Amino acid sequence: MRDKQQIRNVFMPLPPGVIRDSIVSFLSTECSDASIADITSAVRSRVGEVSGSSVRSYLSLNSPDVFERTGRGRYRLLSPESTQKQGKLKILAPETIARVGNATLYNADCFDWLDDQPQNSIHAVVTDPPYGLIEYSKKETEKLRSGKGGVWRIPPSFDGHQRAPLPRFTILNDEDRRELSVFFHRLGTALARVAVPGANILVASNPLLSHIVAGAMAQSGLEIRGYISRQVMTMRGGDRPKNAHEEFDDVSVMPRSQWEPWVMLRKPLDGRVQDNLRRWGTGGFKRISEDRPFGDLIRSHPTPALEKKIAPHPSLKPQAFMRHLVRAVLPLGEGVVLDPFMGGGSTLAAANVVGYQSVGIELDKNFFEMAKTSVEQLTNVVVRESP
């Protein structure tokens, strides 16, 4: 067994690209060059404590096609227009990056962001994508915000409580399903490049669509490792036949869904499990305790009202479940966890709680702004029961 103290003392790097992106963001607001001291303090104000030598190495060694030395200890962006045109650099505006605890948040399209990242730089992915695709399109989020139906339906109120809107996946047609498959193939391909060998990739899904997610991602260079079942009472299914509920009052069209499948994938190992663990820190799951391995059936509950109040995102996952999951995905507790579809930031808050570095990407500006405040508050939520 590896010495636990030794694991704790391993240097925890910032997620890939964070230092470079902060330097770019600072220099892009400066009209000319800046000193290393000014650049370092600007990076620190954006992302927290970093060593001066890391900043220097990004300026001079790691990104020679991005920064240019203008004099002793002074740097500027190397003609941003030309590097942008060549597709080498996307200038990130300072308001599109935030840091909360050990988490870095980006307001970006995750596919663009992933394209920009070095190979083998992410150690685990825990994400809940827009698996109906259209529910988070601009048109549908506007309908959701104005309460005007679309793919979002309000489930019947229950025990006097108005239920939150849910996306209706049963309205997807064959064309939508084909698009879904293309989307998950593209996602799998992008993740297979940035993930380190042995990285766990956990993708939330639902019983109607998980086969498409799993099939498409398994053809993109990742291996299927099974499913995690989150046992939770949902408001899906269980309804009597529409417009004939009195005639068929002892029939429900679909079972009341009581579980949520999470597709479990892995980037293929580099050698044996033990070789992979030594080289990349990945290739397994962290055990719950010495005599209890992580299991694939996890008892959960709907997201508590307090958490939904902190982060009123329609798909917010509960902290108790997310902390359990996120803790397990880094077998040695070292590395960077990515959520490319961050939403209200439940993955990042969970990563903060278990002491991991994390990165979250969110396309929608309103949800990104929400996550900037909710990640910290969700991090502070006390969870009583553990699965």
Point out which residues bind ligand SAM (CB under 6 A): 109-111, 128-130, 136, 313, 315-317, 340-341, 343-344, 346, 361-364, 367
Minimum distance of ligand SAM from residue 320's CB (angstroms): 13
Closest to 203 (Cα-Cα) out of 359, 216, 194: 216
Shortest distance (Å) from residue 167 CB to ligand SAM = 9
- Smallest separation, CB 246 to ligand SAM (Å): 36
> Could you tell me which residues are beta bridge partners of residue 226?
264
Closest approach of ligand SAM to the CB of residue 85, in Å: 23
Decide whether 150 or 344 has the Cβ nearer to ligand SAM: 344
- Shortest distance (Å) from residue 303 CB to ligand SAM: 8
The enclosing H or E element of 276 equals helix 273-280
Say whether 182 sits in a helix, a strand or coil: helix
Cβ proximity to ligand SAM, 83 vs 210, nearer residue: 210
Which residue do the tokens 């820190």 mark? 281
Nearer to ligand SAM, 30 or 109 (CB): 109
Query: Torsions phi, psi of 132, nearest 5?
Result: -95, 5
| Cα 164 versus chain centre, distance | 22
Nearer to ligand SAM, 50 or 195 (CB): 195
Q: Residue 87 CB, nearest distance to ligand SAM (Å)?
A: 18
Q: What span, in angstroms and rounded, lies between the C-alpha atoms of 53 and 339?
A: 28
Measured distance CA(281)–CA(121) in Å, rounded? 12
Q: Closest distance between ligand SAM and the C-beta of residue 117, in Å?
A: 14
Helices (H), 15-79: 18-29, 36-47, 52-57
Name the residue nearer to ligand SAM (CB basis): 58 or 131: 131
**Pick 165 or 344: Cβ nearer ligand SAM:** 344
- Whole-angstrom distance, CA of residue 353 vs CA of residue 367: 21
Q: Cβ closer to ligand SAM: 101 or 130?
A: 130
What order do you get walking across the sheet with 223-231 strand by strand? 97-100, 103-107, 357-362, 336-339, 122-127, 195-204, 259-266, 223-231, 297-299
